[in-house]
Amino acid sequence: MLGFMFITYGLEPSTLECSFLTFQALIGTTLQVLAGLLNTTSGAVYVKKPKCFVFQNPDYQVVMPTVEADVAFGLGKLNLSNDEVKSRVLEALSAVGMSSYLQRSVQTLSGGQKQRVAIAGALAEACKVLLLDELTTFLDENDQMGVIKAVRNSLHNSEDVTALWVTHRLEELEYADGAIYMEDGKVVMHGDVASIQSFIQTKQSDYIKRTYCS
């Protein structure tokens, strides 16, 4: 299991449990707590390690001159041989559909391609949990779909990996295995995508009726 979460940092106390080999979409802002970027004021957070946080803006994360160098960057701390590093880099880039970009300059990549390189870097480190922070916010439709498909393919090609994806785009939920809806700092609903979508659409409809039809 991904673990057990009970947090009260700008949030109501919450308990979430997610299975591995799933793509869970969160509508809310808990990812920084799970990543350890923010501390809890009480309670406990458990996330299986290694875990990797992928930022909303890839320019904060993709910093090396070439794609190969960037994906390999995090592997320096693992004491791997050169052959092992190359193997991990190629496997990770293949998982996100970027293997033909090995020697490309990072500066020539689109925003979506940079996001895929960032995801590849996390996969190369054999992360068990991918914490993905609104990856498609700055992307056009083509890059948006490329990133979503890269995450899905990564889960299919890797063992024991869970992706937690924060999004405000409802259309992205259909690619998830499950979703968690948060409102005003607390979990409102956690379940299958169809139920979450129906719940949100009902809330939107009720809001429109109250606002414009009363």
pLDDT of residue 67: 97
Chosen CATH of 5-212 out of 3.40.50.300, 1.10.287.130, 1.10.3720.10, 2.60.120.560: 3.40.50.300
Question: What is the share, in percent, of the chain residues with pLDDT greater than 90?
Answer: 24
Sorting pLDDT into bands at 50, 70 and 90, what band is 22? low
pLDDT of residue 148: 86
pLDDT of residue 10: 37
Task: Please give, one letter per residue, the 3-state secondary structure of the chain.
Answer: CCCCEEECCCCCCCCCCCCCCCEEEEECCCHHHHHCCCCCCCEEECCCCCEEEECCCHHHCCCCCEHHHHHHHHHHHHCCCHHHHHHHHHHHHHHCCCHHHCCCEHHHCCHHHHHHHHHHHHHHCCCCEEEEECCCCCCCHHHHHHHHHHHHHHHHHCCCCEEEEECCCHHHHHHCCEEEEEECCEEEEEECHHHHHHHHHHHHHHHHHHHHCC
The per-residue pLDDT of the chain, averaged, comes to 80
Res 12 pLDDT > 60: no
Q: Indicate the domain borders of the chain.
A: 5-212
pLDDT of residue 214: 63
Res 175 pLDDT > 70: yes
pLDDT of residue 11: 38
